């Protein structure tokens, strides 16, 4: 669905995007993570044919973003929720969607049906006749998402879609994204919410002008050392502590009645730790594995590439 090869963008003396290459498959939720100024929004703007590239190539559904005729076709295929929602604040919520639906040449009957569907989905149907300028930031964000969907695009670009939303509304948007994936739509998601990315993205690219890493959330986190074995006991006393120290783990800590132990080979080491603690009088309640999360993986990858 998206093919990007050595894409670059230079503003004066500043390189915003530096030779970035990646592909996004049809029906995939692809997340873009990176610090402020990393080039995420610039990349989306190039892919949406809003700004020109400085180098490289990008194609959407086989269409070249740099070709004038192709760019018009691309704009019909995509929906965009930008970082700045850019609504017509004098128009009502319904009229905003109707206006954009007409721009996308969405037939009147389908446009009317979609306006009602998405305004209801976003909890805005009862406010459909109110000017968008009267809306809160969160309501505007939801209206912008409805606007991006009004013409049923096959590819959706979302630049921080849950920004300004309360937890309930953010959850609604995440569930909607997953529902759109089930419908076969492709989602390109810029976000700073690492928990959100880990929960809903099929793959994640980490950008800091250059593309630093790209993989599934699971592969990104598993590539970071630092997994711990957690052994929960009924209580911890001096005998158990000494028994554990005799095995010389590289590093461990105690949280309440839990040992958190760094292990390189859990299948070999975990039984040894459990046997030693039981022999010292410990009542083991459970043993589990604590792996690095996406935040730890992200921070390590960004730091290592500075």
- 85 within domain boundaries: yes
Residue 299 lies in a domain: no
Q: Same structural domain for residues 113 and 250? A: no
Q: What pLDDT, on a 0 to 100 scale, did the predictor assign at position 294?
A: 86
- Region class of 99: left (phi > 0), else alpha (psi between -120 and 50), else beta: alpha
Q: In the chain, how many domains are there? A: 2
Residues 60 and 151 reside in one and the same domain: yes
- Cα(78)–Cα(86) distance, integer angstroms: 17
Domain of 70, CATH number, reads 3.40.50.300
In a domain, 272, yes or no: yes
C-alpha separations of 186 from 42, 128, 149, 296 in Å: 19, 28, 12, 27
Which range has the worst mean pLDDT, 49-58, 88-97, 295-304?
A: 295-304
Is 298 part of a structural domain of the chain?
no
21 and 103 assigned to the same domain: yes
Specify whether 172 is located in the same domain as 36: yes
Same-domain pairing of 271 and 188: no
Q: What is the pTM of this model?
A: 0.79
**255 and 196, same structural domain?**
no
Read off the tokens for 44. Answer: 């989306």
In angstroms, the Cα distances linking 75 to 31, 141, 156, 168 are 21, 21, 11, 31
Output the pLDDT for position 225: 65
Same domain? For 195 and 265 the reply is: no
Question: Do 83 and 166 belong to one domain?
Answer: yes
The pLDDT, as a whole number, for residue 25 is 95
Q: What is the pLDDT of residue 226?
A: 63
Which one has a higher pLDDT value, 146 or 223?
146
**Which pLDDT band, with edges at 50, 70 and 90, does 299 fall under?**
confident
Each residue's pLDDT tens digit, 218-254:
888 877 666 789 999 999 999 999 999 999 888 888 9
Structure tokens at 104: 């996308």
Residue 24 neighbours by CB under 8 Å, 6+ apart: 1, 2, 30, 186, 188, 203
pLDDT band at 53 (very low <50, low <70, confident <90, very high): very high
pLDDT for the residue 221: 83
Higher pLDDT, 292 or 67: 67
**3-class SS of residue 285:** strand
Is the domain of 173 the same as that of 205? yes
d(CA 97, CA 140): 12
pLDDT (average), residues 114-125: 93
Each residue's pLDDT tens digit, 180-229 = 999 999 999 999 888 889 989 999 999 999 999 999 998 888 776 667 89
Chain position carrying tokens 């990007």: 4
Report whether pLDDT(288) > 80.
Answer: yes
User: What does the pLDDT read at residue 1?
Assistant: 92
Measure the CA–CA gap between 259 and 143, rounded to whole angstroms.
48
DSSP labels, 258-272? EEEEE-S-HHHHHHH
Domain that holds residue 33: 2-222
301 found inside a domain? no
pLDDT value for 290: 76
The mean pLDDT of the chain is 91
**240: buried, middle or exposed (CB in 10 Å: 19+, 13-18, 0-12)?**
buried
296 within domain boundaries: no
């Amino acid at each position: 669905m998206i093919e990007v090869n050595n894409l670059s963008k230079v503003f004066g003396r500043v390189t915003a995007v530096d030779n970035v290459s990646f592909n996004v498959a049809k029906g995939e939720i692809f997340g873009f993570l990176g610090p402020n100024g990393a080039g995420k929004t610039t990349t989306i703007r190039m892919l949406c044919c809003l700004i020109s590239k400085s180098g490289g190539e990008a194609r959407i559904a086989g269409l070249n973003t740099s070709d004038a005729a192709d760019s018009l076709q691309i704009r019909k295929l995509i929906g965009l929720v930008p970082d700045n929602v850019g609504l017509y604040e004098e128009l009502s919520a319904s009229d905003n969607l109707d206006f954009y639906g007409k721009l996308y040449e969405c037939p009147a009957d389908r446009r009317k049906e979609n306006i009602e569907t998405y305004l209801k989905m976003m909890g805005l149907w009862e406010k459909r006749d109110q000017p968008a300028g009267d809306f809160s930031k969160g309501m505007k964000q939801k209206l912008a998402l409805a606007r991006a969907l009004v013409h049923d695009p096959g590819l959706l670009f979302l630049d921080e879609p849950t920004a300004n939303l309360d937890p309930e509304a953010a959850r609604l948007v995440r569930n909607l994204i997953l529902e759109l994936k089930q419908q076969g739509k492709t989602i390109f998601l810029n976000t700073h919410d690492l928990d959100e990315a880990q929960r809903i993205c099929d793959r994640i690219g980490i950008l800091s002008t250059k593309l630093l890493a790209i993989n599934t959330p699971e592969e990104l986190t598993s590539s970071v050392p630092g997994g711990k074995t957690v052994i929960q006991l009924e209580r911890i006393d001096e005998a158990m502590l000494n028994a554990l120290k005799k095995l010389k783990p590289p590093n461990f800590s105690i949280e309440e009645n839990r040992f958190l132990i760094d292990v390189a080979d859990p299948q070999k080491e975990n039984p040894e730790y459990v046997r030693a603690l039981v022999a010292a009088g410990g009542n083991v309640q459970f043993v589990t594995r604590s792996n690095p999360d996406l935040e730890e993986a992200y921070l390590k990858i960004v730091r290592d590439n500075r």
